[in-house]
Chains A and B, each alone.
Chain A
C-alpha cells in the first residue's frame, strides 16, 4: 500500500515491506545475534590476542566457532544489503536491535540467568520502539513530476 501525497515535493515515507521482507528482517536479527555469540565463544577458546600473537587474530576465522559465527554474519550481511535496497537505514537499524532482546530472553529462559528489573525495562523499551517503527512506513521517497525517486515498487 502506498501512502503518497503527490501534491508536494517534500521527502515522504511510503510502505515498501512484504511478508518476505519481514522474514529477511528476522534473518538479520538471528544472523547477527548468533554470529556474535559464536564468534565470542571461539575467541574465548583462542585466548588473549597480544601484539606478539597477531597471527592468532589473522587466523581466528579458521577456528570452528569463529567460522560458524562468520557464516551467520554473512547471512546477516546479505539480508542486510537486500533490506537496505528497499527500506531506510533509520527503519532497519532499530528493528535489528531486537537481537539484544533475543539474547537477554534466551539467557533468562534457556540458561536460567537472572535478568534484573533495569534490563526488563530495557527489553520493554526496545520492544516498544521497534514495534512503533516497524508498524510505520519504511522508505523515504521524493515525489517528482515523473513519479517518485527512488522508483517505487509496490508490494501487497
Chain B
C-alpha cells in the first residue's frame, strides 16, 4: 500500500467511524424520545408509532448520518483495502459508541457492560483481521 492509498484508507475509516457513531447516537436518542413502541402502539396504533417516529427531528439526523455512511461504505467497497477498513471501522465505532452511550445518551454503562464490551471489541479485532 503506497502513502496516498494509506492516507485514503484511513481517511475513509475516520469518515465511516464518525458517520456510524453519529448515526447510532442520534437514532438511539430519537427512539428514547419516542418511547417504548409497544406502549405507543397500544395507545395510538401502528400509525401512531409511525407518526411519532417521523415527527422526531433526531430521527432524521440519524437517517442522514446512516445514509451517508451507507454510500461511504459502497464507495469504500469498490476502491480500498477492505481487510483494513472493515475491522478498523467496526472496532473503532464500537469503542466510540460505548463512550457515547455513557456520556451522550447518559445510559448506565455498568461494569458488566464495559467488560462485555471489551470482550466483544477484542473478539471483533481477532475475528476481522
Contact = CB atoms under 8 A, between A and B. Distances in A.
Interface of A: 10-13, 16, 39-40, 43-44, 46-50, 57, 60, 73, 77, 80-82, 84-86, 88-91, 93-94, 97, 100-101, 104, 118-119, 121-130, 132-133, 136, 140, 150-151, 153, 155
A78 to B, nearest CB: 10
Interface string B60-92: 000000100011011101110000000000100
Interface residues of B, number: 52
B27 interface: yes
Contact of A85 (B37, B75, B108, B118): B37
Interface in B86-120: 90, 94, 97-98, 100-102, 105-110, 112-113, 115-120
27 contacts: A11-B106, A13-B110, A39-B77, A57-B74, A73-B70, A81-B37, A82-B37, A84-B27, A84-B31, A84-B32, A85-B31, A85-B34, A85-B40, A89-B107, A93-B101, A100-B127, A122-B122, A122-B123, A125-B122, A126-B123, A126-B124, A129-B115, A129-B120, A140-B106, A150-B32, A150-B35, A151-B39
**Chief secondary structure at chain B's binding surface:** helix
B82 to A, nearest CB: 8
The 3 A-B pairs at the shortest CB distance, nearest first, are namely A122-B126, A129-B119, A122-B127
Given A129-B117, A153-B39, A93 B94 contact: yes
A136 B112 contact: yes
A93 B117 CA distance: 9
Contacts, number: 158
Given A85-B34, A151-B36, A126 B74 contact: no
A123 B107 contact: no
Contact of B126 (A89, A90, A121): A121
Contacts of B39: 151, 153
A119 B97 CA distance: 23
Given A81-B27, A140-B107, A91 B120 contact: no
Contacts of A132: 112, 115-116, 119
A94 B124 CA distance: 10
Contacts of A13: 108, 110
Contact of A90 (B32, B70, B117): B117
